[in-house]
Amino acid sequence: MVAALVRAAFLVDGVYAEASRTYGLTPQQGQLLCVLMPQPYGMGELGEMLGLAKSSLTGLVDRTVRRGLVRRDADPRDGRAVRVGLTEEGAALAEKFYAETCRRMEALPSGLSGAERERLAVLLSRVVADNEVPEVFVEAEQRTGHRSSSRS
């Protein structure tokens, strides 16, 4: 079990890295764009979701702001805080990156039958839920239902 999970993690990480390179992103920038697709988030929320320390997150956001993919806006609920959201360019790139990543991930279990793929999805979803993994990459059906109109 342990070896299978570790090898699966390497497999997923590799596919994610390849998809990121396709769009000139680092895997962390790709992850940030995907997290921000539904809505902007505060830095604290992003740090928790991405599992990054404040300094690492600040550097990631700074680099992604310089590329024109995300922006910082004042938090309307707390004047001292900022919320990070996608720019128009970032939203367009996030959609492309997300679709490419999904296409590549869907190909991973191609040797399984439909029933086996469904069972694998159910079991993995349970492992993720039991371990309270944040939603850093959501299913397309969930994502379209939670879209925010403030993504300019």
Report the CATH number at residue 9.
1.10.10.10
Distance CA 69, CA 30 (A): 10
> Does a structural domain hold residue 97?
yes
46 lies in some domain: yes
List the domain range (segments joined by +) for residue 108.
Answer: 2-145
pLDDT for the residue numbered 143: 52
Helices (H) and strands (E) in the chain, counts: 7, 3
pLDDT tens digits for range 111-149: 999 999 999 999 999 998 998 887 777 665 555 544 333
- Residue 151 located in a structural domain: no
Number of domains in the chain: 1
Question: Looking at residue 81, what is its pLDDT?
Answer: 87
Distance in angstroms (rounded) separating the CA atoms of residues 72 and 91: 14
For the chain, the residue count is 152
Q: Does the residue 150 lie in any domain?
A: no
40: left (phi over 0), alpha (psi -120 to 50) or beta: beta
In this predicted structure, what is the pLDDT of residue 142? 55
Q: Which residues of the chain have pLDDT under 50?
A: 145-152
Structural domain contains residue 68: yes
